[in-house]
Amino acid sequence: MLPREPSTADSGTPPDEDQAVAGQPQFRYAAVLALMMVAVVFIIAAPNADWAHALAIAIEGCALVLTVATSRERESVRIHRALALGIPTSAVVILIAVGKAPRPLVAAVAICVTAGIPFALARGLLRLLRREGVRFNAVAGSLAIYLSTGLVFAWIVGLIASVNSTPYFAQHAGDVPIGDKVYFSFTVLTTTGFGDFTPATPVGHALAVIEMLTGQLYLVTVIGLLIGNFAARRR
């Protein structure tokens, strides 16, 4: 009797999932990482203007749509989800660019868009690791989650500062540009702590502690394990 070829039921993967991903671009996490790096650098270097905020959210929106559009789902599902995210995000970006959106709304939209990236990446990364193990694509996706986490905290700081009359930073009485908030966020996330920006309120102190713990635990556990396994696989 000839040996039976393994079926999708034997592999534990639904048949429609294997058929959906055949010949389709999947898991473009290196491109997502590149977009997140561009977003971080652009926000820090760009002026504190409406068009700059709109472009920053547009870049992050592109990263989110790319993550969803290259997920391991049926093509129709990917298209519908990408359109459902891309169309409203584009409309809000236009409103922000023409100065029709207040700062709290800008920060709230940015939080939603940026926070969607790690959630979408995490689901795809779990599937990618189960199927292919630790490869460069998985490492790139994990680093993209790290960058998006820093941006989420920066936009949260911006939202708190925009709705609170008390200055968020002890060293600066006026409004601080979002670029400085991103710079502050990553100094907290990496526990660098230069001291030129420190939160002045109990809410700011609590948020800084949460971000520090999140950054360190993520680096030590997720990134450390992935990099170690990737290096061992290469050897």
**pLDDT in the model for residue 171:** 84
Predicted TM-score (pTM) of this structure: 0.82
Distance in angstroms (rounded) separating the CA atoms of residues 164 and 22: 51
The pLDDT of residue 23 is 43
Map residue 44 onto helix, strand or coil. Answer: helix
Domain spans of the chain, in order of start: 25-234
Asked whether residue 186 carries a pLDDT value surpassing 90, the answer given is yes
Beta-carbon count within 10 A of 74 CB: 15
Tokens of 170: 């002890």
**Beta partners for 169?**
199
Q: For residue 72, what is the DSSP state?
A: S
pLDDT digits (tens, 9 = 90+) for 65-100: 888 887 766 777 777 878 888 888 899 999 999 988
Asked if 157 contacts 183 with a C-beta cutoff of 8 angstroms, the reply is: no
- DSSP notation for 82-124: HHHHHHHHHHHHHHHHTT-S-HHHHHHHHHHHHHHHHHHHHHH
pLDDT number for residue 135: 77
The per-residue pLDDT for 84 is: 84
pLDDT for residue 27 is more than 80? no
